[in-house]
Amino acid sequence: MRFDPDIHQRHSLRLAGYDYSSAGFYFVTICVQGRESLLGKIVDDTMDLNDAGRMVEKVWTELPQRFPKIALDTFVVMPNHFHGILILDDHPNEKTNCRGESCIRPINHDEQGDHKDRPYGTLDGSVGRIVQAFKSLSTNAYIQGVNNDSWPPFPGKLWQRNYHERIIRDEEELLQIRQYIRDNPVKWVIDDENPANHQDNTL
């Protein structure tokens, strides 16, 4: 389940023929450029958000105001990355909508298409467009923090250009991913995104 940005830096592994604007549950991971811990720190196995981290959390929780067909499930802001579950609903105003596990649809593919790198022009309402908006809004807000409140400047870009995406296929997988997200702060000491676990990496 771990996303390795070094391995997937320039490859698109989307499911061929899958409509990423269709109703369903999607697990996304977005990483800060260069694994810089700009969003807070882990204290006693709990994420202690700084102002930038609280800003990122606010931008994420306000996404449904921009995209009425989405809802948010479990998420966590980590020191240098973000995990969240997006729910896309084709018919948000109908009684039978995607606000629960009944929305999860089985995918008839043998391989998982997790990571994608989409150019500008992503379809309206798709996961790609939503992530683009999240990155753009949070980046602009972070720049204001740098200029007005002396936040640490980010290295070139706030977020890595790529992100990890997983289509959640059934309720069991949804429950596992929810737990994985909740456990992230506790497991920070062994997290691949923890810069302390890359101290000997000279690349």
> Where do the structural domains in the chain lie, given as residue ranges?
24-186
Cα gap 77→69, rounded to integer Å: 23
Fold (CATH) for 24-186: Alpha-Beta Plaits (3.30.70)
pLDDT attached to residue 61:
98
Q: Report, as an integer, the average pLDDT of 67-91.
A: 92
Q: What is the DSSP string of 18-69?
A: --TTSSEEEEEEEEBGGG---SEEEETTEEEE-HHHHHHHHHHHTHHHH-TT
pLDDT attached to residue 95:
38
Categorize the per-residue pLDDT at 59 as very low, low, confident or very high, splitting at 50, 70 and 90.
very high
Strands 70-77 and 24-31: unpaired
Q: Report, as an integer, the average pLDDT of 98-110.
A: 45
Structure token digits, residue 193? 């995104």
pLDDT attached to residue 197:
87
Average model confidence (pLDDT) for the chain? 80
Q: Report, as an integer, the average pLDDT of 9-22.
A: 46
Q: What is the pTM of this model?
A: 0.77
Specify the higher pLDDT residue, 169 or 20. 169
Q: What percent of the chain has pLDDT over 90?
A: 63
* 151, pLDDT greater than 80: yes
* 169, pLDDT greater than 80: yes
Q: Report, as an integer, the average pLDDT of 56-63.
A: 98
Q: Report, as an integer, the average pLDDT of 142-162.
A: 95
Specify the higher pLDDT residue, 89 or 194. 194
- pLDDT tens profile 19-52: 556 689 999 999 999 999 999 999 999 999 999 9
* 87, pLDDT greater than 90: yes
